[in-house]
Amino acid sequence: MDALMTLKQINYEVADKQILHDIDWQIPTGAHITVTGPSGGGKSTLLRIMAAMITKTSGELTFAGQPIESYDPIMYRRQVSYCFQQPTLFGETVADNMAFPYQIRKQSMDREHVITALTNFGLSERTLQQAVTELSGGERQRVALIRNILFLPQVLLLDEVTAGLDEDNKQLIHAWLRRLNEQKHVTTIMITHDATEIAAADQLVKVVAGRLEVAQ
Amino acid sequence: MNLAVNNTSLFLAAMLVLVALAISLWQKLGLDKDIVIGVIRAVVQLFLVGYLLKYIFRVNNLWLTLAMIAFIIFNAAWNARKRGPGIDHALGISLLAILISTGVTLGVLVLSGAIKFIPSQMIPISGMIASNSMVAIGLAYRSLNSQFHDHRQGVLERLALGSGLLDASIAIVREAIRTGMSPTIDSAKTVGLVSLPGMMSGLIFAGVDPVRAIKYQIMVTFMLLSATSLGSIIACYLAYRNFYNEHKQLK
């Protein structure tokens, strides 16, 4: 399979502190990868570089055959979408959050599509009018994740999105991610510390002290 | 006119400074040095400005009047800039915002015949407009700085969803403009009830009929609304981009 993303000799340093060392990594189209490693090892930094949220100090990063520098960062982030560990929801209601991806594309919200997305993820039309402050942790995370996929990206980068959630929510999110990967062919890269998730990984990589180690 | 501040009464009124000094020393506020410097500066600056204005009013030259207005605008921009530490080009942005807000407001006042294009009207009114615009811009800068700090996570998430910089910042920009304008709106609501503002007090002091004096105050209220809203919106829309780097990432 062709590599969708290629990282060559990626280094990242901040204030003279080297966070990532010479990362070489090829991510095939449609991959479902689990990333693990000790806290502070550089996993999040690596994903944030891949999401164009921060810029590498040196090295080459290509996406779909083109260097990352050749893309407009905003258009790039719509293709390589980053999901946060403890997401902030916008505005007052769930509907405000669902409307945001449309708003930034100067479109009006496709209600049918949003309701389908909510239902596919164990939520319902009624959720739309719910205040964001009334949601449980698992619901918040699901609402946040739906924001990322209302317009399907090619790559979904997930930074410990199940951390702190109960088993039911973890299961729901895993099943949902697998469907996205298998049916919609979204390449998914997920950071986790969870032993069950690590054990269930198709492909596992470790980031230790700023270096990438391919496990299994 | 029954204006009677002469040098002797001014000297006696200086006793009031001793009240502030005494409180500072008694309560160990450590403000005594600042009070002394503040008083000396106020006296020297006002005497200089008094003589300068007297000269400018007498000469009544178009270019000299414009130069004085430009000087006021530049000083206002210089001071507004100090409220926006970390905002690049804050001086240029403030200068443009104050120049446009003062220019437009003055233009409307002159064209409508509310004030005449003579130094004794143009210069004090320019000063009032520019200083209010300056305060509004300073408040807006402070609000931008604190909100980009407090709502950092929300901005990052909007960017991660592929939002443009304005969409990621719009809530912050709006709040900053609101912060810049709100003191003027608040004071418009209470004007005359809580305080008799400077323009009106000055005219009444000088013996003008209060009913005529309030007309000037109404004009001032209108012009300050225009000046602070224009100043805030221009400054915020130009300044928000400074919070992002060339890769459209939050700094």
Mean pLDDT of chain B: 92
Taking CB atoms and an 8 Å limit, are B160 and A55 in contact across chains? no
SS3 B119: helix
- The verdict on A90 touching B (C-beta cutoff 8 Å) is yes
- Above 70 in pLDDT, residue A216? no
- The verdict on B33 touching A (C-beta cutoff 8 Å) is no
Question: Per-domain residue ranges for chain B?
Answer: 1-59, 62-243
Residues 96-125 of A with CB under 8 A from B: 100-101, 103-104
Q: Which chain A residue's Cα is nearest to B247?
A: A73
- Above 60 in pLDDT, residue A1? no
pLDDT of residue B128: 93
Contact indicator for B167, B107 with CB cutoff of 8 Å? no
pLDDT of residue A215: 61
For tokens 């006793």, the residue is B15
- The verdict on A74 touching B (C-beta cutoff 8 Å) is yes
* CATH 3.30.420.40 fits domain A3-214: no
pLDDT of residue B7: 84
pLDDT of residue A199: 85
Instruction: Quote the CA–CA distance of B38 and B48 in Å, as a whole number.
Output: 15
Q: Which chain B residue's Cα is nearest to A49?
A: B249
Taking CB atoms and an 8 Å limit, are B247 and A52 in contact across chains? yes
Question: Per-domain residue ranges for chain A?
Answer: 3-214
pLDDT of residue B2: 60
Residue pLDDT, tens place only, A76-121: 999 999 999 989 999 999 999 999 999 999 999 999 999 999 999 9
Please, which pLDDT band fits residue A197 given cuts at 50, 70 and 90?
confident
pLDDT of residue A98: 96
pLDDT tens, N- to C-terminus, chain B (251 residues): 566 678 888 888 889 999 999 999 999 999 999 999 999 999 999 999 999 999 999 999 999 999 999 999 999 999 999 888 888 899 999 999 999 999 999 999 999 999 999 999 999 999 999 999 999 999 999 999 999 999 999 999 999 999 999 999 999 999 999 999 999 999 888 888 877 788 888 888 889 999 998 998 899 999 999 999 999 999 999 999 999 999 999 99
Taking CB atoms and an 8 Å limit, are B249 and A53 in contact across chains? yes
Taking CB atoms and an 8 Å limit, are A73 and B248 in contact across chains? yes
Residue pLDDT, tens place only, B69-79: 999 999 999 99
- The verdict on B251 touching A (C-beta cutoff 8 Å) is no
Alpha carbon of A137: minimum distance to chain B alpha carbons (Å) = 17
| 3-state secondary structure labels for all residues of A26-83 | EEECCCEEEEECCCCCCHHHHHHHHCCCCCCCEEEEEECCEEHHHCCHHHHHHHEEEE
What's the rounded mean pLDDT across residues A57-83?
A: 96
On whether ipTM exceeds 0.90, the answer is yes
pLDDT of residue B234: 97
Taking CB atoms and an 8 Å limit, are A90 and B247 in contact across chains? no
Instruction: Quote the CA–CA distance of A70 and A52 in Å, as a whole number.
Output: 12
Instruction: Quote the CA–CA distance of A18 and A10 in Å, as a whole number.
Output: 11
What's the rounded mean pLDDT across residues A195-215?
A: 87
pLDDT of residue A164: 85
For tokens 């005494």, the residue is B22
- The verdict on B67 touching A (C-beta cutoff 8 Å) is no
- When CB atoms are compared, the residue of B160, B164, B247 closest to A81 is B160
Instruction: Quote the CA–CA distance of B155 and B173 in Å, as a whole number.
Output: 12
- Residues from chain B that touch A104, judged by Cβ atoms under 8 A, are 158, 161-164, 167
What's the rounded mean pLDDT across residues A12-32?
A: 93
Residues 152-171 of B with CB under 8 A from A: 153-154, 156-165, 167
- Residues from chain B that touch A53, judged by Cβ atoms under 8 A, are 156, 159-160, 249
| Residue A122, both tokens | 């164990």
pLDDT of residue B8: 86
